[in-house]
Amino acid sequence: MTADASSAGLRSRGLTARTLPRPVVAGAALAAVAVTFLLFAVTPLQGVADFLVAATVLAILTVTGLTLAVEGRRRAVDRLATSGALIALVLTLLPLGFTLGYTAYRGTKRLTGNFLTHSMAGVGPFSPNGGIYHAIVGTLEQVLIASLIAVPLGLLVAIYVTEYGRNAFGTAIRFLVDVMTGIPSIVAGLFVLAFWVLALHKGFSGFAGSIALAILELPIVVRSAEEMIRLVPAALREASYALGVPKWKTILRIVLPTAATGITTGVMLAIARVTGETAPVLLVVGNNFYINTNPMKGPQASLPLYIFQGAGSSSNLDVDRAWAAALTLILIVVVLYVAARLLTRRNSLRR
Amino acid sequence: MAKRIETVELSCFYGKTKAVDDVSIAIEPKSVTAFIGPSGCGKSTFLRALNRMHEVVPGARIEGQVLLDDEDIYAPEIDAAAVRRTIGMVFQRPNPFPTMSIYDNVAAGLRLNGLRRKSELDSAVERSLRSANLWDEVRSRLNKPGAGLSGGQQQRLCIARAIAVEPQVLLMDEPCSALDPISTLAIEDLIFELKDRYTIVIVTHNMQQAARVSDVTAFFTLRGPGEPGYLVEADTTQKIFTNPSEKRTEDYITGRFG
Ligand SMILES: Nc1ncnc2c1ncn2[C@@H]1O[C@H](COP(=O)(O)OP(=O)(O)OP(=O)(O)O)[C@@H](O)[C@H]1O
Ligand SMILES: [Mg+2]
């Protein structure tokens, strides 16, 4: 009785609205798709892409129109915006999905234990054997050394810029890091080629590649770590200072642990970025069909280079191996990423 | 153990703007001093100048002197971190360390200042949590994150954290402003107990609270918008609330002034 009275009161004040049941909305969208299908069947319209676009547009128009008629303007705009966001999401995920899916499809054909544990030593042009062990070793070593240089250096720069760099020097560094972010990878490669490989007569080596990769990795680490450190609330720093903890200890024990998860993500993205870099390794690492575990001496192989050469080959055997190598590269990055996330997850408390 | 603080013509600046003008006041050991006054009159600024937290703000500086038992804490050879270990602080909004458990939060000050022995840490954590009236509520979940407590519990956790390093003076900036009446009462009881051992300064907008907990009350105000704040008078709480010397104090306390 009271419920009736109050709902009548609400209705008279326009606070209730007619709503479309969900199945009706879904039905309308399906009907739009069906109509499009008919159109494509009887008229000269054709093509899969055309069909998808036409069906999507028609479905959105139908649902929005229906909503406008039944539920009013506000709900119609809401539906329209929701559809827009959904389409943007699909368009963003589509290339990613296709890249991963197709690489997995082509790559799994050759990805065997044997492939992962053998090099290309003595593999003839018509032999389906051979593998990428030498390239995996090369890539892991080059990226590891590059990260050993770039990550600590980048973190220190980020700490300096955020915590101490409130002066002209700090501003200059921030500007230089911005400039470094824009260095094309081929330029970093050329620099190392001219300076390290040729002028200093060091020759091709995995280490030369590491230098070039470190140059590319450094600004990414600095930028992401800087953002994360800035996100740590000032109140936490003040709480630490108020306990009589000196500034450097506050940074080390309070600020960095609080920002750790974000910093790790940034570092992993930086590592993932340079793991796939082809141009610098192409220029300064040389190439090698054999296993060379010494990054300091002699040419090394690497996965991006292996993929680059295999993909450009006229032999289908090489192309298949390149796909398998590409899949391996993706898997390595994924494994690194997941491992890093688990590691920081364990260290930071959950609610 | 508790120490006396005295300021001599202390002015505080943010860059070029003066926020607090020429305050001289003596804060006696083992007493509770309340700072009251309208918003923006520089109570927090002045409080933070007492343990050198003011200079943490970029561009902030002071003129004048702050004496801790006749020693100038702004003298060049004095270490700001050592001053803050002696003069602890509780902030208006609870700010436990989010990556740390309840235990680690309380132990943080001791650990970061070099204490390692587990047994000593254990006893210090229990003692501080008991002092802060929090022990019974958290004893079974010391390893859970401090950020998972309620607001009032977090504030008492921050108080426990501040007293764990055994400061001689405790500065509290509106410690109850975000709390319900029961938590507020718990913290007022706590202030009463701590008074035996510490010198306590509390900023509050709550007149009843100032009247309940403090021995001395200092009234700050500003001459107008954009002007620096200044100290109108400081006297025993009883005198300030019954028979203040200044008309402005009386107007503020009786609510005739913003
Ligand atoms: N970080 C800062 N930078 C610049 N000016 C500041 C800063 N903090 C405070 N001020 C200014 O200093 C003056 C005093 O501020 P303060 O926070 O000390 O006031 P308060 O008395 O604590 O006020 P409330 O009761 O609202 O907390 C104000 O005019 C304020 O705008
Ligand atoms: Mg304040």
Bridge-partner residues for B32, per DSSP?
B200
Ligand nearest to the CA of B18: 1
> What is the structure's pLDDT at B201?
95
pLDDT at B146: 87
Tell me the whole-structure pTM to 2 decimals.
0.81
Q: Could you give the CA distance from residue A131 to residue B58 in angstroms, rounded to a whole number?
A: 59
Q: How many CB atoms lie within 10 A of CB A54?
A: 19
**Amino acid in the structure at residue A258:** T
Mean pLDDT of A173-191: 92
Mean pLDDT across the stretch A216-231? 94
Residues 6+ apart with CB under 8 A from B145: A349, A350, A351, B98, B100, B101, B102
Mind listing the pLDDT tens digit for each residue in A270-298?
998 899 888 888 888 888 888 888 888 88
Cβ distance A235 to B82 less than 8 Å, yes or no, reads no
pLDDT in tens, B146-203: 888 988 889 999 999 999 998 999 999 999 887 788 888 888 988 988 888 889 999 9
Ligand 2 is a single-atom ion; what residues have CB below 5 A from it?
Answer: B 44
Q: B-chain residues within 8 Å CB-CB of A350? A: 145
Q: How does DSSP classify residue B228?
A: P
User: So what's the pLDDT on residue B142?
Assistant: 92
Q: β-strand B216-222 against B32-36: which pairing, if any?
A: parallel
Q: Is the C-beta atom of B258 inside 6 A of ligand 1?
A: no
Say if CB A214 and CB B82 are below 8 A apart: no
- What is the least distance, in Å, from the CA of A104 to any CA of chain B? 39
CA–centroid distance, B149 to ligand 2, in Å, is 24
DSSP string, A94-147: HHHHHHHHHHHHHHTTT--HHHHH---TT--TT-S---SHHHHHHHHHHHHHHH
Whether the pLDDT of residue A16 is over 70: the answer is no
pLDDT above 70 covers a percentage of chain B that reads: 98
CATH architecture observed for domain B5-92+167-253? 3-Layer(aba) Sandwich (3.40)
Check: CB of residue B221 under 8 Å from CB of residue B232: yes
Q: Is A120 exposed, middle or buried (0-12, 13-18, 19+ CB in 10 A)?
A: buried
Nearest residue to B206 via CA among B233, B231, B235, B241: B241
CA atoms within 13 A on the CB side of A336: 22
SS3 letters for A101-116?
A: HHHHHHHCCCCCHHHH
Percentage of chain A exceeding pLDDT 70: 93
List chain B domain ranges.
5-92+167-253
Split at pLDDT 50, 70, 90, the class of B230 is very high
pLDDT over threshold 70, residue A7:
no
pLDDT for residue A351: 38
Residues A45-84: tens digit of each pLDDT? 888 888 888 999 999 999 999 888 888 888 889 989 999 9
Which residues make up the CATH 1.10.3720.10 domain(s) of chain A?
A: 117-350
| Distance of CA B249 from the midpoint of ligand 2 (Å) | 19
- The pLDDT value recorded for residue A288 is 82
Count CB-CB contacts under 10 A for residue B215: 15
Q: Select from A228, A349, A351 the residue whose CB has the most chain B CBs within 10 Å, as the one to mutate to test that interface.
A: A349
Residue A9 in this model has a pLDDT that exceeds 80:
no
Q: Which fold has domain A117-350?
A: MetI-like fold (1.10.3720)
Using an 8 Å CB-CB cutoff, list residues of chain B that contact chain A: 51, 53, 56, 58, 81-86, 88-89, 91, 93, 95-101, 108-109, 112-113, 145, 147-148, 158, 161-162, 165
**Cross-chain CB nearest to B84 (options A243, A258, A348):** A243
pLDDT at B17 over 80: yes
Residue type, A103: T
Sort out which chain A residues have CB atoms less than 8 A from B85's CB and list them: 243-244
Q: Do A348 and B99 touch (CB under 8 A)?
A: yes
pLDDT at B226: 85
Instruction: Summarize pLDDT for B89-135 with one digit per residue, the tens.
Output: 999 889 999 989 999 999 999 998 888 889 999 999 999 999 888 89
Residue B48, ligand 1, Cβ within 6 A? no
Mean pLDDT, residues A324-332:
93
Q: Which residue is closest to A250 within chain B, CA to CA?
A: B112
Rg (CA), chain B: 18
Residues above pLDDT 90, as percent of chain A:
48
Å from A268 to nearest chain B CA? 21
Q: Which residues contact B225 (CB under 8 A, 6 or more apart)?
A: none
| pLDDT score recorded for residue A350 | 45
**Overall average pLDDT of the B61-88 stretch:** 92
Chain B residues with CB inside 8 Å of A347's CB?
Answer: 99
Tell me what the pLDDT averaged over chain A comes to: 87
Quick check: CB of B51 below 6 Å from ligand 1? no
What is the DSSP track for B158-169?
HHHHHHHT--SE
Q: Cβ contacts of residue A350 below 8 Å, gap of 6+? A: B145
Q: For A8-23, what is the mean pLDDT?
A: 69
DSSP labels for A285-341?
Answer: T---SS----TTSB----HHHHHHHHHT-S-HHHHHHHHHHHHHHHHHHHHHHHHHH
Q: Which of ligand 1's atoms lies nearest the C-alpha of B220?
A: 21
**Measuring CA to CA, which residue among A306, A308, A288, A279 is closest to residue A190?**
A279
